Amino acid sequence: MARFSSSARATRATHRPDPTTLPAPEDVRKRDILGLPIAMTNYEEAMDVMDGMVARRDPGYVCAVAVHAVMVANSDPEMRAAISGARLTVPDGMPLVWAANMLGENLPNRVYGPSLMRRYSDRCAERGHRVWLYGGYDQGSLVQLALQMRKRHEGIQIVGGYSPPFRPLTETEEDEMAEAINRDKPDVLWVGIGVPKRRSGWHACASASRCR
């Protein structure tokens, strides 16, 4: 596991919203699309939900899914379980927005995962959230991502990370990762993996849910 020293410019922000004013995942309206609960939301509301989860120390994860993931989930029980287990699932692709609007919704746009990460990283820097990274092709690419994020989001606190192998994690590796995450005490854990590493990502989500 990689541990990243805090940026010299990073400071603990004091501007954190009142948790009682922030929405919970259950407050966001959802529609069933091909058997999955897709949130009828936008970037601002999704980020407010994430702020609320951090402020209340409310464990769980937010999932950004495109139509491909929804289709795979119909034949892959593990994928379905991972998406269904999210506290909030946002529409990452326009086909899901179109499907929702055909059901009578009026969503103007998707909530694209990489854009959500960039936008919320600004909030992390502003509010002093501690960030942990999971993903990348290898550990070197993960370190490069951390450096880029520090340059783009001045003051962001990236406290650790791990690039998983191209196979499911063993029980021992999963336990070690959970221990590392708990040791580093992140407020936010980003999971970004491609299809070859997809299944190990569910272990990351499970470990994130176990974090204190």
Q: Which domains does the chain have, with CATH numbers?
A: 18-111 (no CATH), 126-212 (3.40.50.2300)
197 pLDDT higher than 60: no
Contact 179, 35 (CB under 8 A): no
Side-chain-facing half-sphere of 175: CA atoms under 13 Å = 3
Contact 74, 34 (CB under 8 A): yes
Percent of the chain residues topping a pLDDT of 70: 84
102 pLDDT higher than 70: yes
pLDDT of residue 110: 98
Residues 119/121/125/131 CA torsion (nearest 10 deg): 160
pLDDT of residue 86: 92
How does strand 157-162 pair with strand 130-135? parallel
Place of tokens 């340059």: 151
How many beta carbons lie within 10 A of that of residue 24, not counting itself? 15
pLDDT tens digits, one per residue of 151-172 = 999 999 999 999 888 888 888 9
Instruction: With cut-offs at 50, 70 and 90, classify the pLDDT of residue 207.
Output: low
Contact 38, 44 (CB under 8 A): no
pLDDT of residue 9: 46
Question: Which one-letter DSSP state was computed for residue 100?
Answer: H
pLDDT of residue 173: 86
Instruction: With cut-offs at 50, 70 and 90, classify the pLDDT of residue 14.
Output: low
pLDDT tens digits, one per residue of 34-93 = 999 999 999 999 999 999 999 999 989 999 999 999 999 999 898 898 899 999 999 999
CA–CA–CA angle 158, 181, 80 (5° rounding)? 105
Mean pLDDT of the chain: 86
192 pLDDT higher than 50: yes
Quick one: which of 87, 24, 97 has its CA closest to 55?
24
Side-chain-facing half-sphere of 11: CA atoms under 13 Å = 4
User: What tokens does 108 get?
Assistant: 């103007």
106 pLDDT higher than 90: yes
129 pLDDT higher than 50: yes
Side-chain-facing half-sphere of 56: CA atoms under 13 Å = 16
Specify the higher pLDDT residue, 212 or 109: 109
